[in-house]
Structure 1
Amino acid sequence: MKIVVIGGTGLIGSKVVASLSAQGHEALAAAPSTGVDTLTGKGLDEAFAGADVVVDMSNSPSFEDEAAMHFFETAGRNIARAEKAAGIGHHVALSVVGTDRLQASGYFRAKLAQERLIQASGIPFTLLHATQFFEFLRGIADFSKTDAEGIVHLPPRRFQPMAAQDVATVVVEAALASPANGTIEVAGPEIFRLDELVARVLRHDKDPRRVIADPDAPYFGLDIDDRSLMPGPGARLGATSFDWWLANVPAPQKR
């Protein structure tokens, strides 16, 4: 089966391509570096020719409100047009748990617009809502409010993050299954507090920054509560524990 993976050179996409290829499928990594640009539509028709499934992990290069909306709406329309022309039978898209609850953010408004375009396209689909990735915990620290003493302020809110490899596994399974024509939530096996888990990663890295629980601190500019980032009771859970991940998955090299 030919499966086109948009964003197939990224963190999750590269794992999806590798897994599908190992199972004997023709997995095509579609990205600007491979000649496919969803924003302009360049290369989409050629990539989709003969494909059965499109896995969509496209992401806006900017979190700025207007830029994100422009990207997701324009790319979404280009992808749907090319899918219809190619007769694609299943569109799998990766999104975020809590997207509908985080609408104070322009980025998440754009993500919701992307999801609605997929649902209205007429192409059979599966939406996967994943919680935050363990691999993004360091980025959360970098993006968060840091005071003059180098202390990172994070809200002590519940969340249920998961390993990128577990996300990729679910994406692959969805791509090989029949369209759900609905949303599937996936999350990690354990519930944590945001401030505590980021602090554990920084200590493991011997990062001198300290993390404190600050109920008034924003999360990527948003006020969140204990429900904002949490999946519903029917979410599918990944298998990788945080302790195993921290001990076995190397931190990215600093450039």
Structure 2
Amino acid sequence: MKVVVIGGTGLIGSKLVEKLAEHGHEAIPAAPNTGVNTLTGEGLAEVLKGASVVVDVSNSPSFADGPVMDFFRTSTTNLLKAEAEAGVTHHVALSVVGTERLQESGYFRAKQAQEELIKASGIPYTIVHATQFFEFVKAIAAEATDGDTVRLSSASIQPIVSDDVAAAVGRAAVGTPVGGVVEVAGPDVFPLDEMVRTGLAAADDPRTVVTDPHARYFGVELQETTLLPGPDAHIAETRFTDWLARQQ
């Protein structure tokens, strides 16, 4: 099976390409540095020839409200049009658990717009919602830092390692389109502030994490379950504490 991975040279995409190839599939990484640009349409027709599945794990280079919306709308529109012309029979996209509950954020409004375009396209699809990655602890801390203090909510989060996300997206890619959303999360639930506090301590980061129920998460004030998956989520095996130990 030929699977084209949009964003195939990034964190998730590179892992996904490797996993698909290990299982005997023709996995093609597609990104601007491989000559495929979904914003301009460059290289799309060529790379999609003979493809059965397209997986979109790309992300916007800017998270500012206007540019991120432009990215996901333009990129997704161009990609779906090219897929229809090429006869692609399954579109898989990676999105975020809680996207519909995070609409105060311009980024998540853009992800919601992306999902709506996919659902309206007529192409059989699967949208994979993943919880936050272990690898993004530093990014969460950086966004919430003021001086030497990191202010974070204690709302619950159920993070997952990127390898397990790639595996979940891979399963979706070689499976039957579900015409809806599947969720994947890690095995453990933490308060957000505790997770970041633990991650920073493991990295010998001296910043102090302060619990603030009104602290915003990428522009959104969280409720207790905003970031949590539903009861039918696939639960991956890798634990945050085990992953941290391997980083030492």
Deviation at 1:249, TM superposition (A): 4.0
- 1:65 partner letter: D
Of 169-178 and 137-146, deviating more is 137-146
1:57 aligns with 2:57: yes
The residue aligned with 1:130 is: 130
Deviations 1:108-152, CA, capped at 9 Å, x for gaps: 111101000000100000000000000101111111132x4x111
SS at match of 1:168: helix
Distance, in Å, in 2 between the alignment partners of 1:242 and 1:133 is 10
Q: Could you tell me how far apart the structure 2 residues matched to 1:123 and 1:197 are?
A: 38
Paired residues of 1:153 and 1:213 also in contact (CA < 8 A): yes
* Post-superposition CA distance 1:67-92 (Å, at most 9, x none): 11111111111001110111001000
Cα RMSD for the two superposed structures: 0.9
Q: Deviations over 1:138-171 (max 9, x none)?
A: 111111132x4x1111111101000101101001
Percent identity between the aligned chains? 56
Partner of 2:189: 191
Task: Report the equivalent of 2:225.
Answer: 227
Cross-structure match for 1:24: 24
Note if 1:177 corresponds to 2:175.
Answer: yes
Structure 2 gaps, min length 5: none
Q: TM-score, normalised by structure 2?
A: 0.98
Q: Report how far residue 64 of structure 1 moved.
A: 1.1
Question: What amino acid is the match of 2:83?
Answer: E
2:169 maps to a residue whose letter is V
The 8 Å contact of residues 145 and 154 in structure 1, kept in 2 or not, is answered as no
AA aligned to 1:189 is: P
Give 4+ residue runs of structure 1 displaced > 2 Å after superposition: none
CA distance in 2, matches of 1:102, 1:151: 24
Structure 1: runs of 5 or more not aligned: 251-255
| SS of structure 1 residue aligned to 2:84 | helix
Tell me what 1:119 maps to. Answer: 119
CA change 1:142–1:176 in 2 (3 A) is same
TM normalised by structure 1 equals 0.95
| 3-state SS in 2 of match to 1:195 | helix
- Match of residue 68 from structure 1: 68
Tell me which residue corresponds to 2:93: 93
2:18, 2:247 → 1: CA distance? Answer: 18
Matched residue count: 248
**Aligned residue for 2:12?**
12
Which is worse superposed, 57-66 or 108-117?
A: 57-66
* Conservation of the 8 A alpha-carbon contact between 1:126 and 1:174: yes
Q: Is the 8 A contact 1:64 1:107 kept in 2?
A: yes
Q: Give the deviation of 1:34 after TM superposition.
A: 0.3
Over residues 172-203 of structure 1, what are the superposed CA-to-partner deviations in whole Å (9 max), with x where a residue is unaligned?
11111010111001111110011011011111
Equivalent pair of 1:145/1:217 in contact (CA under 8 Å): no
Deviation per residue, 1:186-238 (Å, 9 max, x gap): 11111001101101111111111111111121111211111111111111111
Q: Residue 253 of structure 1 corresponds to which residue in structure 2?
A: none
